[in-house]
Structure 1
Amino acid sequence: MSSVPFHYVDLRTFCYATEDDRRVEDALRTFLPEEYPIERSQSEGHYGDRIVVLSARVENADEIRHVLSQVATLSDIDAVKAELDDRVDDNCSFFLTFDKQAAFRGEVTRGDGITLRAKVEAYPAKREHAVANARELFEEL
């Protein structure tokens, strides 16, 4: 994986009032390089309950490689490769979600709770080019 065809990778998760902030942060850190900064913003749910949004944007190529090395450990990475046409949108963004509980245990599995959004390099910026670039990357994983 010499070149990385992503401009950046965004990771985001929500910490609800019933969850421990540190545990949710640990789950997000499963994908990030050591000591990577995580942004926190506070929001409010429909009934006034506290929601903390934890997010990180990874822009450095080596750090993006680290995130992708975690994604590569998915047991069903071949299914992700087969779904690339559905996972890249018209804005050349690639989306994938992960199980937050599994991530807390240090496991990388698909599910709900943590969202990965990666901006795929494509020149010209067309969906077809982005899918081809993402496919080439995932074939290397």
Structure 2
Amino acid sequence: MRVIAHATEDVSRVRETLDFFLSGAGVKEAAKLIEELQAEGHHGNPITILSVQLKKKAECLNFAHFVRENFSEEDVDMLREEMPERLDEDLVFHLRFDKQAAYLQQVKLTNSSDAIIAKVKIETYPKNREKAGAIVEELFG
């Protein structure tokens, strides 16, 4: 997951949005996992990029279950409709969560560029888009 804290935002509040998802996934000591990078925006403005990568299978499954359990029916319907477009050729499933909603402890999909971006790598052996789609459906649909 990755999120940008703009110069006008309090980095600690943006960090709380990631903490919300990580605690929902049962990640222990989440604060230690979040990487912080200082960068410059398109117009020269300072930004902070916060990112975290979950690698343990249990944490990844907990994340998917947490997201699914907290989706509104509207978000579930939208996700089902957009599933094929959200799964790329490398079998990475793309999600964008509303940053403001996450700060308020809510899981909500958004199309905004100012979002918490989650990329979920779906593993199939051998690589198979249909099997990956079925896994995504099982996890998030």
Query: TM (normalized to structure 1)?
Result: 0.83
Partner in structure 2 of residue 22 of structure 1 = 12
**Between the two proteins, what is the percent identity of the paired residues?**
39
SS of the residue 1:91 aligns to: coil
1:38 Cα deviation after fit: 0.3
The structure with the greater share of residues assigned to helix is 2
1:42 Cα deviation after fit: 1.1
Amino acid at match of 1:27: T
Match of 1:49 among 45, 51, 54: 45
SS of the residue 2:102 aligns to: helix
| Greater relative contact order (CA < 8 Å, ≥ 6 in sequence) | 1
1:34 Cα deviation after fit: 4.4
Tell me how large the CA RMSD over aligned residues is: 1.5
Partner in structure 2 of residue 122 of structure 1 = 124
Q: Which runs of 5+ in 2 are unaligned?
A: none
Match runs of 1:1-141 below 5 Å: 11-32=1-22, 33-36=27-30, 37-72=33-68, 73-75=70-72, 76-111=75-110, 112=112, 113-139=115-141
The structure with the greater share of residues assigned to strand is 1
Is this contact kept in 1: 2:36–2:50, CA < 8 A? yes
Q: Which runs of 5+ in 1 are unaligned?
A: 1-10
Aligned residues: 129
SS of the residue 2:53 aligns to: strand
